[in-house]
Amino acid sequence: MAPFPPETTARTWFRYTNGTDEHEVMFRHPEVLSASALDLVVDDWFTTLGPIIYEITILGVRRAGQGNTFSIPRDWNGAATYGADTLPANAAPIEYRFEGRGNTGRRVSWSMFSGKLAIPATYRYLTSDNTNVANCFAILSTAALASVILEITGGPPTVYPYMNYQFNSYWETNRRG
């Protein structure tokens, strides 16, 4: 599949620290969507992740408009922290990854690096396995159905009813030094 220009949609990045590393999670959205409308979805998602993640602290938010190759900082309308307890250093590479696909076949994903859950035998939590995973899926799926969050071509993605659990190779290597 040929690459698509990243600036096809508006994008907002939410930067956080898990106490060990800094990360960003990016959401694509319509240009006309207000910051507060997107922040409600992301705040709900972070809040629902709260019981299954170690504490994260929101460091900032930046937004790039549709057609723009640069981003500018903006205010965050959610809480300052989510989750609880201090992340053990050996858990820093754990990545929770929610995924989906648009009707053109383009993939979309949202990752969180602060996982508290036990390693599942399949490296995947189905929505039937964990209430918080089910609720996170519902938040993303509802936002996609309402075209609040988009995939790269500007269409709403179909969010998959699971959360992948993996050890991110980049952050594993980073831990090794």
Q: What is the per-residue pLDDT for 97?
A: 98
Where does residue 141 rank: exposed (0-12), middle (13-18), buried (19+ CB within 10 A)? buried
Q: Is residue 52 part of a domain?
A: yes
Q: Is residue 16 part of a domain?
A: yes
CB 132 within 8 A of CB 52: yes
Range of the domain at 130: 8-176
The helices-and-strands tally (H runs, E runs) of the chain is: 3, 9
Q: Is residue 47 part of a domain?
A: yes
Which residues, in sequence order, are bridge partners of residue 29?
10
Per-run averaged pLDDT (10 residues), the chain, 177 residues? 87 97 98 97 98 98 96 97 96 97 95 97 98 98 97 97 94 80
CB 142 within 8 A of CB 44: no
Q: Is residue 91 part of a domain?
A: yes
Q: Is residue 1 part of a domain?
A: no
Q: Is residue 24 part of a domain?
A: yes
Q: Is residue 2 part of a domain?
A: no
Q: What is the per-residue pLDDT for 149?
A: 97
Q: How many domains does the chain have?
A: 1
Q: What is the per-residue pLDDT for 51?
A: 98
Q: What is the per-residue pLDDT for 174?
A: 78
Q: Is residue 155 part of a domain?
A: yes
In 3D, which of 85, 88, 98, 93 has the Cα closest to residue 143?
A: 98
Q: What is the per-residue pLDDT for 92?
A: 94
